[in-house]
Structures are given as structure tokens and as C-alpha cells.
Structure 1
């Protein structure tokens, strides 16, 4: 049964979190990380405004050192009034061009760094840049390459109660974001069904079902309700803006920058 989990017969693949990333990424030419609420949405917004985003897992001493070494600003928590930038895509709509931002995230940033550590250049995908990313993926497929879209999901607490350190919790918003990117890839490349793995087709179908009411679907999700409880519906609304950003953020030399920029 070795290799079955790799989805190798198909050119467009889909998986969840670090577990599927470890299996699918080594056999795929292009890797897209999707963390809709909120890391990759924040990256899309910031990069579309001319900023560079340096992903980091935790807001810790190492993140402080990285920001100092790179001449970057370290993002804080949205509820901290002393920090101008955070994972909030609504706030990042005002970020000045040229800003270098260290953006901690235990899910999307962690997966992005894992891909970069392997020598590849991951793409940050979300609902906002689905069409832009889909166009690039369609070109990759036309050139004979394969692609994998990874929904980051969330993490349950570990047995000691530490947040974001336990097993994978699939998150519907990331399924929808991945499905949107796959849908736009199919549209841009006029791809036949046989090119997509069943897993990728399922993500696409989930997006198609939710597409007419994306904001409502995101608001009703577990992650969306967590943000609503904090009063951050503007972040959910920002994340739900399908095809709003014409940017493809690629992680190279430690920072997400616009493809071709």
C-alpha cells in the first residue's frame, strides 16, 4: 500500500494540515497553503498592498529577534492597542507599502515554513486571491507540473491543555478556500475531471455549494464564531471577499512577496 496516500495518479491534489503536507508536498511541484481565518488572508491583503510578510510560528523571543534582524515590524494581537498590525486582514488593509511584517501563526505560518525548509516556495492562498492563484496553477498544470492545495485547519489543545499543539481539527473555512482555488484552477485551465483527485473534487464541490453565501458560511463556522465573539466580524467579512486580490504571494528568502513583483 506504499504511496497510496500520495494521490500520485492525479495532477491536482488536496490534503489537510502538516500530516498530509508531509506526504503530498514532496511529490508535488507547487504547494498552496490555505488558512482562511486568518493567516493566508492576512498575507494576501498585506502583499497586495506592497508589504512583505515573514511567517513565524509563535510570537516569542525568536520572533522578536527575527524582526530586529530583518528590519521588520513584529505583529501583535489585535486586541493590543500598542500593536498596529496583527493577523487581522481588516487592519492590514491600511498597511503601508514596503512594510516588512513578521506575522506569527501556529497553523498557516508553520506549514508555510515547513515547505520553505524543504527548499520549495509555497503560495499563500485564500478566498480573496483564489482566481489569481488558480490562474498560476493552471499555467503550472499546462506546463506538465502537479499541484497540491493544503487546508491548514486548526489544532486541538494537547493533553496538557496547551492551545494549537494537539491533533488536527479540520476547519470548514479552509476547505472552502481550498475548493475555491481548485475551482478557479479548473476554470482557468479548462481541466477535465480526471485531472483532479477525489479529495480535490470534494473540496471543489464544498466550495460550489457554499459559494452563494460565503460570508454566512464563514460566520457560522467554528472559527468564524470565535472571531464574532471577539467582535471581529470585519475580519470574517474580509476573508469572505472572493477574488478581491489580484496577487499571488510566494514565500522566498524568508518572506512572502508578490509573484513577479
Structure 2
């Protein structure tokens, strides 16, 4: 069971600030009742943050996409599609640059294999709150988490680096592929949090601090960034690499993201 004195070895207990990877890490944080921050820099979290900055209504939905289509139709919302499909249909996509001021108050359903899946896992059990964080809103997300900790004394903050997935992973293999863009985004948020940090969180924050002046170059040349650049979406990568561009803090409430950045936001009743 990997349990000692009531704690699982992998809990990073008793630290206030922690980091985990992927849907399994999000579920573990949810089961502990942590404040969960979902970080998928390229591009789920960055797209959600950008969309909320413009006042759009974002409803996350876990895979598969077929279920998301039916759900969006039932909600009277537009389904956010992949970049290639959106290029053909002219609709909104996982590109954050597909959102703008004309989208205020419009509902969208956003499905993705990593960010939306981690959001769904993080929203299970007794989670204190689920926030979407990225480089774009790193400081604002950290401040919102600090406010939540004041309202929920004793709750830890776990930042989830969503990562990517290996193609064609075998049944006996773990398909999660750690992604440095999410690690750096998590580090930027952890850098703004007070309280004790687990060794894992300390290392993540230190990694971001060590390269914070070079984040854009790193994202443009990392595996995920190169993939997007080769597909013609270099502007997306450049946008997602901007630190503290927005104040919007997407927080899950009633199945959709609402902006918890306002000083008087009632974020204590997040879920």
C-alpha cells in the first residue's frame, strides 16, 4: 500500500505546495481534497485563460470527442475543435489566438486529451477547488490559490503538469510523456505560492527561476513547440510563452470555468 503513519509515500505530505503529473496525479490530489491547479501550456490551459480574458464561457469536457460533440449540441454551445479541423470549418480551436472580444458571453465546450482529462480527474472526490493555470496567468493563479487557502485552512495546493502522451504506447507501457512546457508553467505558479514546498515542488520552481528569461526560446524549441511550429502555429507558441499577460483565473464552478480573479470573488464556494 506504500503507507506510513497514515500517509502514502507519494503524497508529498506534509508540504503545503506540491506538483504531480497527468490525470492520475490530478485524481490523487482530488482524493486528498487539495486545491488543484491544472497546467497544460500548449494549449488547453492557455486557451481557457485567453478565452476567459475575453469573457467567453468555457465548459471543459473529457475525451472522447464524440461525446463532447453531443454534449455541446445539448448545451447549445460551440465545440472547440482541433486546429486542423477549425482551419477547414472556420470555427474556434485549441489555438488561444482563435478567441477574441467578439466571444464575450458565448458558450464553448473544450475537449482535449490532456488538459480536459486532467480537469475531469481533478474535479472528482472532495477537491477544494480546480483552477486552470498557465504561464499567461501564473501570478494571478498563485494569488487565487493563496486566497483559497485562507478560506480553506489546512488545504494543500497541488499543481498538475498535464504532460503529453506517447503515440502507440503498448498496453504494459505508461503513455504519459512529461512535457517541459507544463513543468515550467507549474514552476512559475509554484514560485508565487507561500508555504512549505515539497522537494518536487522546490525543484520545479527552481527550474523555472533558472530559465525564466529564456522561457520563450525554450518553448519554441521544445518537442511540443517544434511540432506546433512545423504545423504553422508558431504564433500560438509565442503567445503561450508570455508570462503574466492576463489576470483571468479560470475556476471550475457548476461544470464550467468562471473567472475568480476579482478581489471580491466568492471563490470559497468553488465547487
- Taking structure 1 as the reference length, what is the TM-score of the superposition? 0.89
**Higher alpha-carbon deviation: 61-70 or 167-176:** 61-70
Equivalent in 172, 182, 188 of residue 180 of structure 1: 188
Deviations 1:126-174 (A, max 9, x none): 000111111122233454421100100011123479xxx9611000000
Whether the 8 Å contact between 1:8 and 1:27 is mirrored in structure 2 is no
How many residue pairs get aligned? The number is 251
Query: Would you say 1:22 and 2:27 are equivalent positions?
Result: yes
| Residue segments in structure 2 that go unaligned for 5+ positions in a row | 267-271
Q: Which runs of 5+ in 1 are unaligned?
A: none
**In structure 2, what is the equivalent of residue 116 of structure 1?**
123
The 5-angstrom pairing of residues 163-174 of structure 1 reads 167-174=175-182
Report the equivalent of 1:154: 164
Q: How does 1:22-171 map to 2 (within 5 A)?
A: 22-58=27-63, 60-79=65-84, 80-118=87-125, 120=127, 121-142=129-150, 143-159=153-169, 167-171=175-179
List per-residue Cα deviations over 1:42-96 (Å, max 9, x = no partner): 0000011111111123363321211111111011222333132010012223551
- 172 and 95 in structure 1: CA distance in 2 versus 1, 3 angstrom threshold: farther
CA distance in 1, matches of 2:64, 2:90: 12
Counting only pairs closer than 5 Å after superposition, residues 182-197 of structure 1 correspond to structure 2 as: 182-186=190-194, 191=195, 195-197=196-198
State how far apart, in whole Å, the 2-side matches of 1:219 and 1:52 are: 29
Distance 1:95 1:184 in 2: 32
CA distance in 2, matches of 1:93, 1:144: 38
Provide closer, same or farther for how the CA distance between residues 10 and 160 of structure 1 changes in structure 2, counting only shifts above 3 A: closer
Residue deviations 1:187-212 (CA, integer Å, cap 9, x gap): xxxx4xxx000010111011111210
TM-score for the superposition, normalised by structure 2: 0.86
